Amino acid sequence: MNKSKFLIFLLTLLLALSAVAGTASANPSINMIPGKTEAVIGEAVYFSGTISGVNTDRIYMLLSGNGLDENGVVMVNLNYRASDGKFTEVKTNNDGKWSYKWNTGNIGGFTAGQYTIHAMSGPVPLTELENSGEIYTSCSVVIKPSSVDKEPFITITADPQGALQGNPIRFTGYSEGKLSRIIYLFVTGPGADMNGSPLGDLSAKASEGRFTEVQLTSGSYIYSWDTSAVPPGEYTIYAVTGPSDLSKLENSGDAYAKVSLEITGDTPEASGTQSKTSSAESGQTSASTPMSLILTLCALILGFAAFTISRK
């Protein structure tokens, strides 16, 4: 092998390893947040989310449930089936964020019922999705025939769904069906009262009327939980349309939603666990560090080879 071919070989190797490193550094994920989980026929339902770690500029959406084809249909035409290669395609921006407006009033043959909305990284029928290698997520929306049938409801999503003690967790959601402009949050778990405590003070009791109250803005809410004083352990956070603690929820008439997560303590064992989690969240894998060393070494070899050839 002459010097020129050797230089080309090293350059090709470096580029190949860079591509592998870029692939390994990504942690594929997709999420979807519905603007509401209940609507009447004719209303628009907004969906938004992000996709990362996948080489794509779009996501694919399907609708299922309420007697529709098991492989899913496009969002706006119940006769266009995924098994025939039909999907709703939604473009993403440079950050992988996407949004979609689902107009339930322009769908022929659309009837009231419960539907599941699916978002995925590739165009795959639902019955083949699990083993396809594509990443995906889903959520449910109840469609009712008229506003008279509309009942209070609420959603809650945690980001992230677990954190090292002291790191904030953001809760977002949507609430509709009540005149109140406030939703009520409480938490159960280590250090909290058995029937719930406000997120800002685990020593207080929801049963005594102590809740974390959050204002609604156009039906949506957002709240950031400071976990600095929260003991490690498993927690469940409830979002309720009225001031009802855990013992009263089922018979209160208030709608509620809940999400579970884990707070990890700063112990040697827990720190190791959190370190892996943080790597995944930052877009790195355990293989990314040694890969960077390999790339550095290749770059040094390539530079040395180029220097040697230029001297001869």
- Per-residue pLDDT tens for 212-246? 999 988 778 999 999 999 999 999 999 999 999 99
Instruction: Classify the C-alpha dihedral 276-278-284-290 as positive or negative.
Output: negative
Number of domains in the chain: 3
38 and 117 share one domain: yes
Q: What is the pLDDT along the chain (312 residues), one digit of tens a residue?
A: 565 555 556 555 555 555 555 444 468 999 999 988 888 888 889 999 999 999 999 999 999 998 899 999 999 999 999 999 999 999 999 999 999 999 988 888 888 888 999 999 999 999 999 999 999 999 999 888 765 555 677 889 898 988 999 999 999 988 876 666 899 999 999 999 999 999 999 999 999 999 999 998 877 899 999 999 999 999 999 999 999 999 999 998 888 999 999 999 864 343 333 333 333 333 333 334 455 555 566 566 666 665 565 555
> What is the phi/psi pair of residue 193, to 5°?
-65, 150
166 and 73 share one domain: no
Q: What angle do CA 134, 139, 142 make, to 5 degrees?
A: 145
53 and 143 share one domain: yes
54 and 118 share one domain: yes
> Could you tell me the two tokens for 304?
């040395």
Cβ distance 127 to 68 under 8 Å? no
41 and 131 share one domain: yes
Is the residue at 9 inside a domain? no
Question: What residues make up the domain containing 295?
Answer: 284-312
36 and 86 share one domain: yes
Is the residue at 11 inside a domain? no
- Per-residue pLDDT tens for 74-89? 999 999 999 999 999 9
51 and 136 share one domain: yes
